[in-house]
Chains A and B, each alone.
Chain A
Amino acid sequence: MKQSKIGAWIALVVGALYFVVPLIGTFEFSLRMRRGAYSFDAYRVVLTDPRFQATFGYSTVLAFATIVVGVVLVVPTAYWIQLRLPRLRPIVEFITLLPLVIPAIVLVFGYLRIYGSSSLLPMTSNERATDVLLMFSYVTLALPYMYRAVDTGLRSIDVRTLTEAAESLGAGWATILFKVIFPNVRVAVLSGAFLTFAIVIGEFTMASLLDRPAFGPYLQLIGANRAYEPSALAIIAFIVTWACMGLLQVFGRGTKALAAPAPGRVK
């Protein structure tokens, strides 16, 4: 059936303009640092700024910690639910949806009250403890995506039958976990990991309220005080996000569920 494609092209062009022009504008702005000529001065200033390196490094380390803790928390749980406690599945899925429903700022508000300096479990009393709290906050933010990726991955490999097959061949639980389950969810875990990394690197609200030297608060600080560096940082942030999503696509073939809605938690 022949259909007019003009409407479709118009929609696409308008959309493309809306999405591409800000990127061009930002890039152009970031090149304006040196008066009169385009240069990468803003990038040089930013990348050599010790605070950039410190905060980016901090956020990166935190991201890795979040990923590790997240995987250790999610994979056995998802496995156990599928294998032994399928009746608990609706409850667990509801819990994994909560971080999407409760705004991050509300969550961190709660953390500050419950784990603040004057409470039963003071996690904000020293810096290390606060780092740990921030990490757990990030695990919470990443939980929906990590769980959904792993759960889908486990379902696609029919984990129950695999486990029974392995047992009938004489494997112990450790062998099963490490030789049968983990390798098969590797792809799902990687997808969740890249998404977690993107979330953590750009996150502002929680890091700012918990007063930690993360990349998000640093971005905000630069924005408030400098003119051209913020644009350079925005471009860098976009490249990092793109890299994460790109790698996610590369590794995430087959975990289509993850490419679906990921309302950024960095808003």
Chain B
Amino acid sequence: MAFLEIESVRKSFGAQHVVQNFDLAIKRGEFVSFLGPSGCGKTTTLRMVAGFEAPSAGKIRIDDKDVTQLRPNQRHVGMVFQSYALFPNMTVADNVGFGLKVAKKPAAEIRPRVEEMLRLIKLPALGSRYPSQLSGGQQQRVALARALAVKPQVLLLDEPLSALDAKIRVSLREEIRTVQRELGITTVYVTHDQEEALSMSDRIVVMNEGKVEQIGTPFEIYNFPRTRFVASFVGTLNIMRGRVVDPAAGKIEVDGQPIVAAQGVAGAQAGEQRAVALRPEAVTLDQATGDRNRMQGLIEEVSFLGAVVRIRVRFKESAISLDTFNNPNVPPPGRGQPATVSFARADLLVLEGAPGA
């Protein structure tokens, strides 16, 4: 049963098509992320749900009610902005209670609700401070409390963590997810950070240049990317140039070395150039066993990242990065040494489109 429906929504500014044919049905209580680079249309779509932009075509429905023509202050939707947007002339408590005051709720009702919200975001003692006296992370939590105080039907977040330090980002995103689960509120989250999207969402909508590239769970998006864009945007990916030898059998040649893709190469002809992709975690530095693929090259770069050692192996034109765990008893290999890498046939992804596209 869909709670928030975005039906065939389009947005154009003159000849510029910022959002093309966006279709999505979100269930009640679901946490959905819009993920993509700057300018891909994710924020515009969010703003259309909020009512700040009017769609050029299409409808938006919340709880079976068509809200497309409603103004933002009539939609009963909550929003958290990237720049916090706390009112500078009001205390934290006044900020949080603003929505209720504006709805003309009695003070006796506002005060306990504000306190409840401050407890929810774990800042019960800061009610009388002003936004300028808070840190960025604290301000964003207050913004969240403010948005939730009026019990909105949908919560929208527009890159809320982009302006914060890395450490705070990690702790705050866990907090946001916890609060969201506790309240069971339908949420749309816009971000360009794939780690955020992967760790927080029930589903992710990957967007690029106004188009929806793929919709799926984090597991699906990461492991089964459908387009080259999704594959390269979500997680790190090794991409190599391959020449199809036998499409049915999945035989491909990369830099003169033969490898096999378990699922075959759909819709390709022999001799065609195709991009092939591998997740770093699928590759191991060893002699291949069984029917695992094997490639030989030279170690180009070794990066010691602490727990993980990232090794790049170069063949002729292509190169593969792989991760191994740090082992105090086994020092990492040196640059220039010969190396063999192996990976399972099922792990080799063949992407649509020619390499370099």
Name A's B-contacting residues (CB within 8 A).
1-2
Contact = CB atoms under 8 A, between A and B. Distances in A.
6 contacts: A1-B51, A1-B52, A1-B71, A1-B72, A2-B54, A2-B71
Interface in B49-94: 51-52, 54, 71-72
Contacts of A1: 51-52, 71-72
Chain B interface mostly helix, strand, loop or mixed? loop
Nearest to A1: B52
Contacts of B52: 1
A2 to B, nearest CB: 8
Contacts of A2: 54, 71
Nearest to B52: A1
B239 to A, nearest CB: 43
Contacts of B71: 1-2
A1 B74 CA distance: 12
Chain A interface mostly helix, strand, loop or mixed? loop
A1 B52 CA distance: 5
A2 B52 CA distance: 9
A232 B51 CA distance: 55
Nearest to B54: A2
Contacts, number: 6
Contacts of B54: 2
Q: Which 6 A-B pairs have the closest CB atoms?
A: A1-B52, A1-B72, A1-B71, A2-B54, A1-B51, A2-B71
A1 B50 CA distance: 10
B46 to A, nearest CB: 15
Contacts of B51: 1
A2 B70 CA distance: 11
Nearest to B71: A1
Nearest to B53: A1
B56 to A, nearest CB: 15
A96 to B, nearest CB: 30
Nearest to B51: A1
A95 B238 CA distance: 66
B50 to A, nearest CB: 10
A171 B55 CA distance: 62
A2 B54 CA distance: 9
A1 B47 CA distance: 10
A2 B51 CA distance: 10
A109 B213 CA distance: 78
B44 to A, nearest CB: 14
A208 B22 CA distance: 74
Interface string B287-299: 0000000000000
A136 to B, nearest CB: 45
A2 B72 CA distance: 10
A2 B73 CA distance: 12
A1 B72 CA distance: 8
B194 to A, nearest CB: 31
B60 to A, nearest CB: 16
A79 to B, nearest CB: 35
Interface string B257-277: 000000000000000000000
Interface string B17-61: 000000000000000000000000000000000011010000000
B55 to A, nearest CB: 14
Contacts of B72: 1
Interface in B174-210: none
A86 to B, nearest CB: 27
A1 B51 CA distance: 8
Interface in B203-254: none
A3 to B, nearest CB: 10
A163 B11 CA distance: 53
A205 to B, nearest CB: 42
B303 to A, nearest CB: 36
A109 to B, nearest CB: 44
A246 to B, nearest CB: 33
B52 to A, nearest CB: 6
A243 B350 CA distance: 68
A35 B52 CA distance: 62
A190 B262 CA distance: 74
A5 to B, nearest CB: 16
B53 to A, nearest CB: 9
A7 to B, nearest CB: 18
A119 to B, nearest CB: 54
A202 B76 CA distance: 59
A204 to B, nearest CB: 44
A238 to B, nearest CB: 40
B69 to A, nearest CB: 11
A1 B54 CA distance: 8
